Structure 1
Amino acid sequence: MQEDEEEEKVQEVQKDNKEEQEKEVEEQEEVEERSRDGVEQEKVEKEEEQEEEEQEQQEEEQQEEQEEEQEEEQEQQEEQEEEEEAGGAGGGGGGAGGGAGAAGGAGGGAGGGGGAGNG
């Protein structure tokens, strides 16, 4: 009888040990998974940060181009006014056409820059 009880205790202890080992293995796997997730999360955050920086840079470039366009238009408008005062609606019309062409070219450049960045 006593041998049976001892055998039972030994089996119970072995069972407990086995369960504890399994628990430790599971915990270890969870830790590894969390650390992998952490690394992935960092990668994702870095990529998002980089994309934001690129987008900000593009926006700044576009804004600079727009400001340059406005300055050009203003200069052309002033020139046009001077030309009109100096004598001739014909000369003024030519200046306006040239200004529209320059603005269109600058706008095309801004669009091209945006397309390259997004690609």
Structure 2
Amino acid sequence: MEEAIFIFQTPSRMASTCLIRIDRELQIVIATETQKRISITTTSELMATELVKQYQLMPQRLLLIEHYPESTRPQLYGESYYLVTFTWVGQQASKAIRQPLPLSEFKEVLQAIES
């Protein structure tokens, strides 16, 4: 699994970043919120579109997991994970749908990547 700082452009044309871990073979990306500029929640469609282009991923196979460490969330919420799916037109993502991903299921995804 590769790890990198992913730089992408926000709707206001500002550069923003997040930490990504990516498995190109399985087409899984875990994007960790770093609170650098704009939240990954706000820019998920742009981020997914850029991930597909920069890493030559297949849009319909992309599995994007947003990760929010406790350090970036109010204490009430704590660390959390969301599975994000999109409607794709070519390589353009739109209509992000977020589903909470329990820690136990996230661990299963990690095990699948590691095996």
TM normalised by structure 2 equals 0.21
Structure that is richer in strand per residue: 2
**Structure number with bigger Rg:** 1
The one of the two structures with greater contact order (alpha-carbon pairs below 8 A, sep at least 6) is 1
TM-score normalized with structure 1 length:
0.21
